[in-house]
């Protein structure tokens, strides 16, 4: 996701993608608070929301995403957002499924991004 952020001409779109990348990291680590309710903070839910696809509001354009990059981005954000409640609910099978899905979505995103980067640089 940070590679996608680095590819954006509009800094506002880059920032939205950077926030999503940080949100993914937080959802899998810092947001898993023993004794917590498994709900993401509002700002984190926002970072993992539609902005990852739509970019910053009021820019008049969408972020520069290649075909094949959008669906893995949505999957990564949705899976990351679901992770804290499964961890805190002590649902090991569900956590494993989410982690496997997160790995698969991340791999799909990296593959799409690598293809897009070769197109942009070639």
Alpha carbon 94 to its chain's center: 19
Q: Which residues of 68-81 are buried (b: 16+ CB within 10 A; e: fewer)?
A: ebbebbebbbbbbb
Alpha carbon distance 85, 114 (integer Å): 32
Of 12-16, 91-95, 118-122, give the range with the top mean pLDDT.
Answer: 12-16
* DSSP symbol at 29: T
Answer yes or no: are the C-beta atoms of 32 and 87 closer than 8 Å: yes
Can you give the residue ranges of every domain in the chain? 2-121
Cα 40 to Cα 44, 70, 122: the distances in Å are 6, 23, 41
Q: Which pTM does this prediction carry? A: 0.69
84 contacts: CB under 8 Å, gap ≥ 6: 27, 31, 32, 33, 36, 38, 39, 40
Q: What would the pLDDT profile of 5-58 be if each residue is shown by its tens digit? A: 998 999 999 999 998 888 888 876 655 555 555 566 777 777 888 777 888 888
Q: What would the pLDDT profile of 71-87 be if each residue is shown by its tens digit? A: 888 888 887 887 766 65
């Amino acid at each position: 996701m940070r590679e996608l952020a680095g590819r954006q001409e509009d800094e506002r779109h880059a920032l939205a993608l950077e926030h999503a990348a940080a949100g993914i990291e937080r959802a899998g680590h810092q947001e898993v608070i023993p004794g917590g309710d498994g709900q993401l903070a509002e700002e984190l839910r926002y970072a993992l929301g539609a902005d990852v696809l739509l970019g910053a509001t009021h820019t008049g354009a969408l972020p520069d995403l290649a075909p094949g990059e959008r669906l893995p981005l949505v999957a990564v954000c949705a899976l990351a957002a679901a992770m804290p409640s499964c961890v805190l609910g002590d649902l090991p099978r569900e956590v494993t499924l989410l982690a496997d899905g997160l790995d698969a979505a991340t791999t799909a995103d990296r593959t799409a991004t690598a293809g897009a980067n070769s197109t942009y640089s070639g």
